[in-house]
Structure 1
Amino acid sequence: MTIDRAEMCRRVSVGRRSLQRWIEAGWIHAPDGDGVIAFSEVDVARAELIRDLAGPMGVNQDGVAVILDLIDQIHGLRQALRGLSTAVAVQDLPVRQRIWSDAATHPLGRRRADCTLPPARRSRTTM
């Protein structure tokens, strides 16, 4: 579902000028289809965050830009980790065990001493 600029302003409780500044700053990506800017629910949530940061939380423009950049990086990392996790999960048990063992003993990967192998998942070859 997509919404137009007027609906976005109404749902987020911001003026058109504020929304336009956020678009120009690159904080909100406004896909332009058929000459009409349409926003998604994700865009609405992002705009609400920007509104809260710049408003009640008192974060300045540079701070908002940094926070949004960090959030975008976190989302990218989560997506990459999901892909990696999926790739590991479809490997045969010995390969998964080696990966988890190496991760548990590697100085940069070790977060706690009791790293254990997660529950076994069926590989594609056994399905």
Structure 2
Amino acid sequence: MRLYSETEVVARVEGMTVTRLRAFVAAECVRPSEAEGHVGYAEADLARLRLAAELAQDFELDPHASAMVLSLVDQIHGLRLALRRLGEAVGEEPDEIRTRVRARLRGPGAS
């Protein structure tokens, strides 16, 4: 796994400074990884830092507020994955069960 140093992160993420990066780390927007004795940031961390930097600039969010938004984004992604898996599981069931599930999802009184 390729890890990027602080200097590389600052060069690759628009609007990032070492001070801002360290503030995002302190707020737990990202957590540096360690591999082969090196500490750095993975490609996914760079994506999170890009979003955090955009939030900070566009909405004037401090690092802790950015961390909260990133946490909510993580939750949404987790829910989407769970719903996709649920849909796939229901799709593998017999027609009778799929029909009953659809009816239950529509709720009482729905046509």
TM exceeds 0.5? Answer: yes
After superposition, where does 1:19-30 map in structure 2 within 5 Å?
19-30=21-32
Q: Counterpart of 1:102 in structure 2: which amino acid? A: R
Call closer, same or farther: CA 1:19–1:61 in 2, change over 3 Å: closer
Q: Provide the residue aligned with 2:98 in structure 1.
A: 96
SS at match of 1:56: helix
SS at match of 2:58: coil
Greater shift, 23-32 or 44-53, is seen at 23-32
Given candidates 62, 67, 70, the residue that maps to 1:68 is 70
Q: Give the 3 Å change call, closer, same or farther, for CA 3–106 of structure 1 in structure 2.
A: farther
Q: Once superposed, what is the RMSD of the aligned Cα atoms? A: 2.2
The secondary structure found in structure 1 opposite 2:32 is: coil
Larger relative contact order (Cα-Cα within 8 Å, sequence gap ≥ 6): 2
Please tell me whether the aligned partners of residues 52 and 66 of structure 2 are also in contact (alpha carbons under 8 angstroms): yes
TM-score by length of 1: 0.71
What are the ranges of 5 or more consecutive residues in structure 1 without an aligned counterpart?
108-112, 115-127
Residues 62-105 of structure 1: per-residue CA shift (max 9 Å, x gap) = 42232122111111111211221121111111111111111112
Question: d(CA) in 1 for partners of 2:39 and 2:27?
Answer: 16
Q: Which has the larger radius of gyration?
A: 1
User: 2:105 & 2:51 partners in 1: Cα distance?
Assistant: 35
Give the 5 Å matches for 1:1-127. 2-5=2-5, 6-13=7-14, 14-106=16-108, 113=110
* 1:118 counterpart residue number: none
Determine what percentage of the aligned residue pairs are the same residue: 30
Higher helix share: 2
